[in-house]
Structure formats: structure tokens, C-alpha cells
Amino acid sequence: MTYSKKDVITFVINVVFPVKLCIGTALVASNGVPFVPLNFILLFLDTYWKHSMTDMYHNSRCTISRQTIVLLEENNIQANIIDYTSQPPHLADLKVLVKKLGLSPRSLLRKNEAIYKEMGLKDPVLSGKVLFEAMSQYTKLIERPIVVHHDKAILGPRPEAVLELFAL
């Protein structure tokens, strides 16, 4: 498992320094300098990595999306819940999502929605930009839920699939 420089710095600032201040003399190396055991640091980093920087694009009207939130909570995974129906994603956000999902823009569309048919989005010559604009304007076109963790993402429809992001 590898950790970014930012993860290590965040850990040192938020955990190592406070621990050194709180238990200072309880954990002392032979040279008299307080330290935190390496296994504690690795355990924290592992936990931090699994539970930080997680976003979930959520539609409160979607049963699977609500089930996914419950599943994350049951597994003690704290996610930033983004209700994309009230906070429509920008074009740039949709492009990043598609990249993290490893899908095409078309794969992110809900093809059974009436607006999909009305707008003629089935047309294969439509560009990704047109599809992104449609999803940004009509959020019900976006497949859900989408859980993003660091540089990877998973798209529903099975709530259990999101646990793959966390190796649980």
C-alpha cells in the first residue's frame, strides 16, 4: 500500500504531534525523543486511506442510492454525500467522473428516462460534450449512485459493489 506525501503530512500534523504532546513520556525512544510505534502509524494510515476523500453522488429519490448510503455507514465509511439533483455537477466534474469510472459519457446516461428519448440522445454521432451538457442540465439522466474514492469510482446498480473501492 502506498501513501501520498499529502496523506503522510496530514497524519503527522493531526496525529503524531498531538500524540507526542499527550503521551510524550509514555512512548520514549532510547535517545529520549518521544515517538509513535510504526505499526500504529501504518494502522492509522490504512484507516485514513480507506475513509478519506470519498464522495457519493446521490439522488434521494433512488432506493439503490439510499441503500448505498446505509451500506457505507454500516462499514464506517464516511462519505461526502452530494445530492446532484439539487447541486448539478459542472461539465468538468462529469468529465472527471467518467475518467475515474473508466466509462464513456454515454455509459453514464439513464437510457430509460423520457428526456433521453425526447432529446434524441441515442444518436451515436452526438459528442461527449453534448451528452455532458444534457446530464448537467437534466440530472435525472445521470446513472446512480456514483461513489468516488481517491482516483477510482464505481457506478451502481449494486450497493455492495462500492465496497470494492475500499477492499472490504
Q: 0.75 exceeded by the pTM?
A: no
117: pLDDT strictly greater than 70: yes
Hey, what's the cell of 37?
A: 510505534
The verdict on whether 62 is a catalytic residue reads yes
Nearest residue to 111 (alpha-carbon basis) of 140, 81, 137:
140
Task: Give 12's DSSP letter.
Answer: I
Distance CA 17, CA 4 (A): 19
Pick the catalytic residue from 62, 103, 126, 130: 62
**pLDDT tens track for 75-106:** 988 899 999 999 999 999 999 999 999 999 99
149: pLDDT strictly greater than 60: yes
**pLDDT tens track for 128-145:** 999 999 999 999 999 999
- Render 86-107 in DSSP notation, one character per residue: TSPPPHHHHHHHHHHHT--GGG
**pLDDT tens track for 16-52:** 555 444 444 445 555 555 555 666 666 666 555 555 6
